[in-house]
Amino acid sequence: MKNINGQCLCGKIKCQIKEYGIFIYICHCNTCRQQLGVPAHAIDPGNSKNFSITKGKEYLTLYQSSEDIERGFCSICGTRLF
């Protein structure tokens, strides 16, 4: 499986996924709906060890939205990363 590379909108943060899961589910919890402004969205609940920030960790902002969920986004452009 090939690595998947991505970045935030402004390009300050670059990330990589080494493997991704075969199970995708649709989340429609209140927090996700509120954050994204959509009724539901797809999530790959894969292993977080497969995801890494390859550039710009200093621009990453983490927000603990619930006891179990931590959300990461770019502090410059606001792009949601995980």
List the pLDDT tens digit at each of the 82 positions of the chain.
678 899 999 999 999 988 766 667 788 888 778 877 888 877 766 666 778 899 999 999 999 988 888 888 999 999 988 7
Give the residue from 13, 2, 5, 22 showing the smallest Cα distance to 60.
13
pTM for the whole thing?
0.74
Domains of the chain by residue range: 4-74
CATH classification number, 4-74, choose in 3.40.1440.10, 2.60.120.10, 2.170.150.70, 3.40.50.10470: 2.170.150.70
Give the pLDDT score at 9: 96
Give the residue from 65, 45, 49, 51 showing the smallest Cα distance to 13.
51
**Alpha carbon distance 19, 79 (integer Å):** 22
What are the start-end ranges of the H helices in 17-58?
30-36
Q: Where are the beta strands (DSSP E) in the chain?
A: 4-7, 14-17, 25-27, 41-43, 51-55, 60-64, 70-74
Give the pLDDT score at 69: 80
Give the pLDDT score at 24: 74
